């Protein structure tokens, strides 16, 4: 299973050529994201100007149906808690997202090269692509 981070999902929603190429290269793979990523995208859609808000929400819903959405459940909580550090780089929502990826067997998180996601003791790999 390959997980797509928020910048990658935004690129897909905007129809960027690099996103189309990525999706083609991942054909046949199970693609996932987390509830945290969907929350970020929903917040962006809700802030859109009136007329485009409904369209963005529809596009997000269409994308969501194509993905496995990993929950922030008790297993995700346990995985994140086991790895918490005092400074928690990236904040608790990031740790919840990582916990969900770990708990549900994600092999890789695909994000943007500009993302400054912290490493740590996780079993999944982080791949950065130029969007």
Domains of the chain (ranges; CATH) run 2-129 (3.40.50.1010)
7: tokens are: 């910048």
**pLDDT for res 118:** 64
Tell me what pLDDT residue 54 has.
87
pLDDT, one tens digit per residue, over 63-82 is 999 999 999 999 999 998 88
Express each pLDDT in 5-58 by its tens digit. 999 999 999 999 999 999 999 999 999 999 999 999 999 998 888 778 889 999
| Cα–Cα distance, 63 to 42 (Å, whole number) | 12
Mean pLDDT of 89-109: 90
Confidence of residue 89 (pLDDT cuts 50, 70, 90): low
Give pTM, 2 decimals: 0.91
Give 86's contacts (C-beta < 8 A, 6+ positions apart): none
- C-alpha span between 108 and 85 (Å, rounded): 22
- DSSP for the chain reads -EEE-HHHHHHHHTT-HHHHHHHHHTTTS-EEEEHHHHHHHHHHHHTS-HHHHHHHHHHHHHHHHTSEEE---HHHHHHHHHH--SS-TT-HHHHHHHHHHHHTT--EEEEETT------S-SSEEEEE--
Query: Among the listed ranges 11-15, 74-78, 86-90, 91-95, which one has the minimum average pLDDT value?
Result: 86-90
pLDDT of res. 88: 62
Q: What is the pLDDT of residue 23?
A: 95
């Amino acid at each position: 299973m390959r997980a797509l981070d928020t910048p990658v999902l935004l690129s897909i929603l905007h129809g960027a050529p690099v996103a189309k190429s990525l999706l083609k290269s991942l054909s046949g793979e199970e693609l996932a994201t987390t509830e945290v990523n969907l929350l970020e995208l929903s917040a962006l859609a809700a802030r859109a100007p009136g007329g485009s808000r409904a369209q963005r929400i529809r596009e997000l819903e269409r994308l969501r149906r194509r993905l496995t959405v990993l929950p922030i459940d008790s297993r995700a909580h346990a995985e994140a808690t086991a790895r918490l550090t005092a400074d928690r780089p990236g904040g608790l929502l990031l740790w919840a997202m990582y916990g969900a990826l770990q708990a549900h067997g994600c092999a890789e998180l695909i994000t943007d090269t500009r993302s400054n996601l912290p490493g740590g003791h996780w079993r999944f790999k982080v791949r950065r692509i130029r969007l």
